[in-house]
Amino acid sequence: MRILSIETSCDETAIALVECSGGLKNPKFKTLENIISSQIKIHRPFGGVVPNLAKREHLKNLPKILQKLKIKNWKLKIDAIAVTVGPGLEPALWAGIEFAKNLAKEIKKSLIGANHMEGHLYSNWLPKRSAVSVKRLGEKKSLNAIPSTLYAIQFPAIALVVSGGHTILLKMDSLTKWKKLGETRDDAAGEAFDKIARLLGLPYPGGPEIQKIAKRGNPKAVNFPRPMLKDKNYEFSFSGLKTSALYYVRDNPKTSVADVAASVQQAIVDVLVGKTIRAAKAFGAESVLLCGGVSANRLLRETLKKESGKIGAKFFVPDFEYNTDNAAMIAAAAYIQHLRKKKLKLEANSNLGL
C-alpha cells in the first residue's frame, strides 16, 4: 500500500510517500519521498510558534512541496492519503486536513486521519540507515540474510516519547497494545529545552541550540535539580528546572552560558534516562525505544543506548531525519491504523493523546 502523507501539526510542513507492507506483527516501510519544509526562520523573531502564521505558511507550502515530488505520475501510484488530525496547533492542523480532503476528492483516493504521537512512536519502525551501513561495512551477509531478530523490536518494550509538547513513558506489549506508565505534570522535556534556551538568550527552537553550545561547557558546572528522579513513579516535571536555571542566571550574571547549557542538558538527560531504565528493569523490557523531537539529542541517545545495554535491553531510536516532525511517520501511523481498521475523525483534535 503506497501512502502519501501530510503533516502540519506545528511549524514543519511535511509530505512523504511511503510504501507500506506486512501485517501488525511485522510492518515494513520504505520511504520513497520525505520532504520537510521548516518555518523556523519565520517564527524565530517571536521566540516560539505563532499558530496563525504557521497555518498561513502551511497553506503556501503544501502545493509547492507536492510539486517537488520526484516520482512521476504519483497520483496514479498511491493507494491512500494520510493526514495528521492531532495533537497540535488547531489552525495548523486544519490547514493540512483541508488540503488533504481536497486532494483526496480531486484524485479519488481514500483519506486516513493519523495521530501525530503514534507517528512519533512508529517512527522507530521506519527504515534505518544504520542497518544499511552494516551491509556497507563489508559484512558478507546481505541485509535480508541477517536474522530479523537483530533489528526487530521485541516486546515488552519501554518507549520514551519526548517532543516539544509531550513527555510520556509507555510500556508496550505489542505494536498496538500499550499502557501509559507516566507523563509530565507540567512542561515537556522539549519545552524545558526551549524555555531555558530563551532565558539564556539562545534562539528558538532551544533544544538544538543548547546541544550545540553545551559542547563547549562543563556538565558538572552547575548542580541543577533532577526533578522527580528519585520518586517511585514514572511521572516527570520540568518546570522547577526552568525556575532553577532562571535564578541561577539571575544570581550569577557572569556565568558561562555553555556551562549552564551543558549542566541543564545533563540534568534533563539524567532524569529521562533514569526513569526509562527503571521502567525497563521493572517490566523486564526486551527493547527500549526513544522517539519525538528531543530524541535528536546526542547525549540522550548515547546515554540511553549505553544504559539499555547494561540491563540487556536492545535500544532503538529513529534515524535523524525521523526524530523531529516529518510526514513519513504519519504514513506509518496511518498504515497501522488501517490494519487495525480504526478510524479517526477527519477534523482537528488538538488534544488527541496516546
Please give the residue ranges that form the binding site for Zn ion (CB under 5 A). 163, 325
Distance in Å, CB of 290 to ligand KG4, minimum: 12
Distance in Å, CB of 229 to Zn ion, minimum: 25
**Which C-beta is closer to Zn ion: that of 49 or that of 260?**
49
Residue 205 site contact among ligand KG4, Zn ion, none (CB < 5 to 8 Å, cut-off depends on kind): ligand KG4
- Report CA torsion sign: 248, 252, 254, 259: negative
From candidates 14, 112, 325, 330, binder to ligand KG4 by CB under 6 A? 325
Residue 165 site contact among ligand KG4, Zn ion, none (CB < 5 to 8 Å, cut-off depends on kind): ligand KG4
Residue 269, exposed/middle/buried by CB under 10 A (0-12, 13-18, 19+)? Answer: buried
- Does position 119 bind ligand KG4 by CB under 6 A? no
Using the contact rule CB under 6 A, the part of the chain among 129-137, 148-156, 291-299, 342-350 near ligand KG4 is 291-299
- Judged by CB under 6 A, the chain residues 208 through 267 that form the site for ligand KG4 are 208, 211
Using the contact rule CB under 6 A, the part of the chain among 55-63, 151-159, 206-214, 215-223 near ligand KG4 is 206-214
- Does position 293 bind ligand KG4 by CB under 6 A? yes
CA distances from 216 to 61, 76, 116, 210, 294 (A): 37, 51, 34, 10, 20
How far is Cα 318 from Cα 127, in angstroms, rounded to an integer? 8
The angle subtended at Cα 19 by Cα 17 and Cα 20, nearest 5°, is 125
Tell me if residue 352 falls in helix, strand or coil. coil
CA distances from 161 to 65, 167, 188, 260 (A): 28, 6, 10, 25
**Which C-beta is closer to ligand KG4: that of 163 or that of 337?**
163
**Which C-beta is closer to ligand KG4: that of 87 or that of 156?**
87
How far is Cα 211 from Cα 296, in angstroms, rounded to an integer? 10
How far is Cα 137 from Cα 287, in angstroms, rounded to an integer? 25
CA distances from 320 to 114, 187, 243 (A): 21, 24, 30
- Does position 113 bind ligand KG4 by CB under 6 A? no
Residue 219 site contact among ligand KG4, Zn ion, none (CB < 5 to 8 Å, cut-off depends on kind): none
CB contact burial 136-170 (16+ within 10 A = b; e otherwise): eeeeeeeeeeeeeeeeebeebbbbbbbbbbbbbbb
Distance in Å, CB of 31 to ligand KG4, minimum: 17
From candidates 113, 207, 219, 227, binder to ligand KG4 by CB under 6 A? 207
Using the contact rule CB under 6 A, the part of the chain among 187-195, 218-226, 232-240, 254-262 near ligand KG4 is 187-195
Name the residues that contact ligand KG4, by CB under 6 A.
10, 163-165, 190, 193-194, 205-208, 211, 292-294, 296-297, 324-325
